[in-house]
Amino acid sequence: MRARGLDEKGLEESIFGARSQIAFYASTPAYLPVLQCHGWEGLHEEANRLSKEGRWLEMANLVDDEILNTIAVVGTPADVARKIVDRFKGRVERISPVAYAPDVALLARLCAEIRAIV
């Protein structure tokens, strides 16, 4: 999961989207073991409760910066490229920088930044 933007507004929107997506996953029983590995069981309980109440937008507020930065890669394209390489170089053969509503210019910039590093 990535949160990135070419400008401050884009980055803020992307971070909110990442927090929302993490919160959605956290609300599902299937994601509970991942949360338990980090000691975040309480996130599942609260996210699950809010989801059952239909309070989807509020769920994003449950994901603090520690959780966000553990699960997602956050920053400018250059920041995200460096973090991806640091996390995954030598561990994976490929990555797929695709988002639900991709910004083609942003993805092109991110790919160029990664290529420049590796």
pTM: 0.78
Q: pLDDT (tens digit, 9 = 90+) per residue, 17-73?
A: 889 999 999 999 999 999 999 999 999 999 999 999 999 999 999 999 999 999 988
Q: Which two tokens stand for residue 64?
A: 């603090």
- Residue ranges of domains in the chain: 2-117
CA dihedral 82, 87, 90, 92 (to 10 degrees): -110
**Number of neighbours of residue 13 by Cβ within 10 angstroms:** 13
How many Å is the Cα radius of gyration of the chain? 15
Q: Do residues 78 and 113 lie in contact, with contact meaning Cβ atoms separated by under 8 Å?
A: yes
Q: Do residues 73 and 81 lie in contact, with contact meaning Cβ atoms separated by under 8 Å?
A: no
